[in-house]
């Protein structure tokens, strides 16, 4: 029997994910800290402090990424880059990705999915990074079951 492949939040390469995941994680933790300080998430999301923290995180991380991160991960790019390898996979692949994922941007998952012949894609409008199985429990199980049943036929 062929081994089937299942991808969630498809990261195309270490260079790309090192550009998007760290600032997303920093912003999430800063938002949690502000929510703790202000005792509410709703106020924090709308506050100028949150917006300023987000802006400064993005600007500072772009500098850090180009000066430090990218040069450090560049040596792993040839072995971790899936964009030039994924087309060799002949087994069906299930791509699940959210429009709202700030850790791994959807464009990479879409680009990967366009490179494979046997794919099923589920692009989710309202979800977050690696939370699909929690937010869309029933639909997640249905999509998985359908994919597996179709793949083993």
25-76 confidence digits (pLDDT tens): 998 888 888 888 777 666 656 678 778 888 999 999 999 999 999 999 999 9
- Enumerate the domain spans of the chain: 5-13+81-152, 15-76
Q: What is the mean pLDDT of residues 95-106?
A: 86
Q: pLDDT of 117-136, one tens digit each?
A: 889 999 988 887 878 888 88
- Cα 15 from Cα 12, distance rounded (Å): 9
DSSP string, 38-89: HT-HHHHHHSHHHHHHHHHHHHHHHHHIIIIIHHHHGGGHHHH--TTTGGG-
Upper half-sphere CA count for residue 96 (Cβ side, 13 Å): 21
pLDDT at residue number 23:
92
pTM of the prediction? Answer: 0.78
State phi, psi for 90 to the nearest 5 degrees. -100, -10
Upper half-sphere CA count for residue 118 (Cβ side, 13 Å): 14
5-13+81-152 homologous superfamily: Alpha/Beta hydrolase fold, catalytic domain (3.40.50.1820)
For 146, the token pair is 């359908």
């Amino acid at each position: 029997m062929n081994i089937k492949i299942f991808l969630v939040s498809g990261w195309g390469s270490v260079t790309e994910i090192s550009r998007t995941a760290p600032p997303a994680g920093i912003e999430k933790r800063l938002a949690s800290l502000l929510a703790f300080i202000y005792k509410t998430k709703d106020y924090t999301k709308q506050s100028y402090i949150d917006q300023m923290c987000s802006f400064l995180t993005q600007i500072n991380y772009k500098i850090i990424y180009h000066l430090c991160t990218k040069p450090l991960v560049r040596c792993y790019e040839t072995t971790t880059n899936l964009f030039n390898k994924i087309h060799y996979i002949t087994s069906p692949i299930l791509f699940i990705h959210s429009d709202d994922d700030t850790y791994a941007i959807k464009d990479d998952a879409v680009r990967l999915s366009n490179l494979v012949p046997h794919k099923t894609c589920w692009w989710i409008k309202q979800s977050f990074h690696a939370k699909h199985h929690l937010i869309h429990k029933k639909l997640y199980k249905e999509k998985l079951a359908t994919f597996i049943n179709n793949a083993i036929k």
